């Protein structure tokens, strides 16, 4: 397996960053993550737009344009020859002499084995807990997952698979996924602010009847369905929240229908880009 | 210059971490920082206690005891022979196969040149701005400085040297320093919760008349003096906050007296440990 690190392709086992990098010293950097499916970089334009936006928000200069980044991604997979994979692009704060000011960022692109079920009939059922938290700079995909990693032990203790962040009574997102509910009136809503705008979320918002808007903690408690979206999880149904069943306690009809529409969109994208 | 990295002393220029470390992937880790002054590791016991506490809070196993850590610190300085220095100990989330779960942490100890004025007559005068923010896990010294690093550009634009965090109307701390005020009644108070308990702060709390307790944004606006403390800055007077002068607009008598008492304590510690 090779990775791309600072202008060159090298074996993953040799890829290292100096201890003076601001990622190690101050946890400072941004990243993006997406999938290769049937040899196609799924929604790569959307992910690169978000990657470049995160970099801009966090004041990290990127010395490659979008076309150059796409070429790097393709060359990496020509070398690694993976038909299905996860792709992670990390842009670090860079080598910082004083461990405080932003340096010249390091760009890292790596692939990992990742194979999803080709045609799942139902969304996976997961259990979640809630936690009061707002990410530092929600609109950017920073590498700061201090809270998400830290909460893993509590999730294990409570037999939960994920955690839903809320703040000031408003629901925001999961550490690595967007949140959706089907409310009491049957309307599909995803929080509109203080979130990372996910690419799977974007695909769902293209579907009639899916809206963005405020979602309160009370909305979540009375929701018919709750589900999460991400590039690696597609759609998963939250069937238990803080130990209480959501709706029927099983993946619901809306999440199931949206999963099938999402899979259809994936097939169309792959068909158009293969 | 040598550093200690994972059980061995190596040249700093060769010290690197694998890209799969959770510090790089998720900004996850803890650290501590203190000074060597006149060859003495200043308040090293306090710093190691806090380092081990941060590690415990963040669920990072440390495979060395306090005595072993002290031996590592001493051996590193026998090799680097620095009479004055900053010492940084970092414990990362470790090599994580799935870029999510905590691995086996890497311990890094590095030194850097750092020479403070031996006998400053007055605290340095600095300007600060305020910002609504609460650190993720305030009681632990995590490596997450996403907000502090991100705010540097705003500080430069506003000609500010530092930023005072507050949340829900309560003042907490600066990104790398503790906050103190001399209130309208002349009492010295430092915030008591949602902060990192600094070692310089601890030294000041040993002095009669210095208290910990709630400090509101209003207290700060009406304070006679505001000052900050840290191991590298000792005491600095905030003479301008959000563009408005604090008290006389110059370093005040209380901060000045406390600085002299702090310097006296340093001399006593060094005298007892040289």
Strand B124-132 versus strand B234-241 pairing type: parallel
Q: Compare all CA atoms of chain B with the CA of A132 and give the residue at the minimum distance.
A: B136
**Which of A59, A94, A113 finishes a domain?**
A113
Chain B residues closer than 8 Å to A12 by CB: 19
A128 strand-pairing partners: A162, A241
User: Hey, are the CB atoms on B24 and A17 less than 8 Å from each other?
Assistant: yes
Whole-number pLDDT of residue A63: 95
Closest-CA distance, B101 to chain A, in angstroms, reads 7
Q: Give yes or no: residues A106 and A201 share one domain.
A: no
The verdict on pTM exceeding 0.90 is yes
Contact A27 B58 (CB under 8 A): no
Look at the block and give the residue holding tokens 């990290």.
A60
Q: Cα distance from A75 to chain B (closest Cα, Å)?
A: 20
Residues 6+ apart with CB under 8 A from B229: B177, B178, B180, B198, B200, B201, B204, B235
Same-domain pairing of B161 and B202: yes
Chain A interface disruption, residue of B23, B59, B161, most A CBs within 10 A: B23
Digit-coded pLDDT (tens) for A91-139: 999 999 899 999 999 999 999 999 999 889 999 999 999 999 999 999 9
- CB–CB contact A144 B27 (8 Å): yes
The CA-atom distances, in angstroms, between B189 and each of A106, B208, B248 are: 43, 12, 19
The shortest C-alpha distance from B207 to chain A (Å) reads: 31
User: Do B189 and B223 belong to one domain?
Assistant: yes
Look at residue A119 and tell me if it is in a domain: no
Cβ pair A16:B12 closer than 8 A? no
Q: Which residues of B touch A153 (CB under 8 A)?
A: 59
Compute mean pLDDT per 10 residues along chain A, 274 residues long, and list them.
97 97 98 98 98 98 97 98 98 94 97 93 98 96 97 97 97 98 97 97 98 98 98 98 97 98 98 94
From first to last of the 274 residues of chain B, give the pLDDT tens digit.
999 999 999 999 999 999 999 999 999 999 999 999 999 999 999 999 999 999 999 999 999 999 999 999 999 999 999 999 999 999 999 999 899 999 999 999 999 999 999 889 999 999 999 999 999 999 999 999 999 999 999 999 999 999 999 999 999 999 999 999 999 999 999 999 999 999 999 999 999 999 999 999 999 999 999 999 999 999 999 999 999 999 999 999 999 999 999 999 999 999 999 8
Q: Cα–chain-centroid distance for residue B101? A: 27
Which ranges in A107-150 belong to alpha helices (H)?
146-150
Burial degree of A79 (CB within 10 A; 0-12, 13-18, 19+): middle
Query: Does residue A263 share a domain with residue A136?
Result: yes
CA distance B261 to chain A (A): 29
Residue among B5, B59, B149 whose CB faces A26 most closely: B149
Smallest Cβ–Cβ distance between A101 and the set B15, B110, B152 belongs to B152
Cα angle B215-B256-B259, degrees, rounded to a multiple of 5: 85
Of B19, B99, B142, the CB nearest to A17: B19
3-class SS at A23? helix
CB within 8 Å: A15 and B12 = no
Per the domain annotation, does A118 fall within a domain? no
My answer on whether B106 and B153 are in the same domain is no
d(CA B73, CA B273): 15
Q: Would B158 be classed as within a structural domain? A: yes
Clarify whether residues B128 and B203 are in a common domain: yes
In a domain, B274, yes or no: no
Residues A262, A138, single domain; the answer is yes
Check: CB of residue A181 under 8 Å from CB of residue A226: yes
Contact A25 B110 (CB under 8 A): no
Contact B17 A16 (CB under 8 A): yes
Please tell me the predicted confidence (pLDDT) of residue B97: 85
Tell me if residue B215 falls in helix, strand or coil.
coil
pLDDT in tens, A214-229: 999 999 999 999 999 9
| ipTM, two decimals | 0.95
* Per-residue model confidence (pLDDT) at position A192: 97
Q: Are residues A152 and A213 in the same domain?
A: yes
- Could you list the residue range(s) of the whole structural domain that residue A235 is in? 124-269
Interface test with A, best of B102, B106, B131, B149 (most A CBs within 10 A): B149
| Chain A residues inside the 8 Å CB shell of B59 | 150, 153
Structural domain count of chain B:
2
Strand-pair partners of B147: none
Task: Collect all residues of chain A within an 8 Å Cβ-Cβ radius of residue B29.
Answer: 24, 27
> Does residue B118 lie within any of the structural domains?
no
Residue B229: CATH number of its domain: 3.20.10.10
On whether residue B213 sits in a domain, the answer given is: yes
The CATH code of the domain that includes B68 is 3.30.470.10
Question: If you write DSSP's letter for every residue of chain B in order, what string do you get?
Answer: -EEEETTEEEEGGG-EEETTBHHHHH--EEEEEEEEETTEETTHHHHHHHHHHHHHHTT----S-HHHHHHHHHHHHHHH--SSEEEEEEEE--B-TTSSS--BPPEEEEEEE----SS-SSPEEEEEEEEE---SSTTS-BS--HHHHHTHHHHHHTT-SEEEEEETTEE-B-SSSEEEEE-TTS-EEE--SSS---HHHHHHHTSTTEEE---BHHHHHT-SEEEEEETTTEEEEEEEETTEE-TTSS--HHHHHHHHHHHHHHHHHHHHH-
- Choosing from A92, A113, A134, the residue where a domain stops is A113
B155: in domain = yes
Structural domain ending residue among the three candidates A61, A83, A113 = A113
What pLDDT is attached to residue B81? 98
């Amino acid at each position: 397996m090779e990775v791309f690190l600072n202008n060159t392709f090298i074996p993953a086992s040799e890829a290292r960053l100096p201890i003076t990098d601001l990622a190690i010293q101050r946890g400072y950097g941004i990243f993006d993550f997406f999938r290769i499916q049937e040899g196609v970089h799924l929604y790569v334009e959307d992910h690169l737009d978000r990657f470049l936006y995160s970099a801009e928000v966090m004041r990290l200069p990127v010395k490659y344009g979008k076309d150059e980044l796409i070429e790097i991604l393709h060359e990496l997979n020509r070398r690694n020859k993976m038909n299905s994979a996860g792709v992670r692009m990390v842009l670090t704060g860079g080598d910082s002499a004083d461990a405080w000011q932003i340096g010249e960022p390091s760009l890292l692109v790596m692939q990992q084995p990742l194979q999803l079920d080709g045609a799942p009939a139902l969304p996976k059922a997961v259990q979640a807990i809630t936690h009061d938290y707002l990410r530092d700079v929600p609109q950017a995909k920073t590498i700061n997952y201090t809270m998400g990693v830290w909460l893993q032990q509590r999730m294990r203790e409570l037999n939960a698979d994920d955690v839903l962040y809320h703040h000031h009574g408003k629901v925001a997102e999961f550490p690595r996924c967007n949140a959706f509910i089907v409310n009491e009136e049957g309307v599909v809503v995803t929080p509109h602010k203080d979130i990372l705008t996910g690419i799977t979320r974007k695909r769902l918002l293209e579907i009639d009847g899916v809206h963005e808007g405020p979602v309160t903690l009370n909305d979540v408690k009375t929701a018919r369905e709750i589900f999460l979206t991400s590039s690696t999880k597609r759609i998963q149904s939250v069937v238990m929240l803080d130990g209480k069943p959501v709706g029927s306690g099983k993946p619901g009809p809306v999440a199931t229908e949206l999963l099938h529409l999402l899979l259809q969109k994936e097939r169309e994208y792959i068909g158009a880009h293969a």
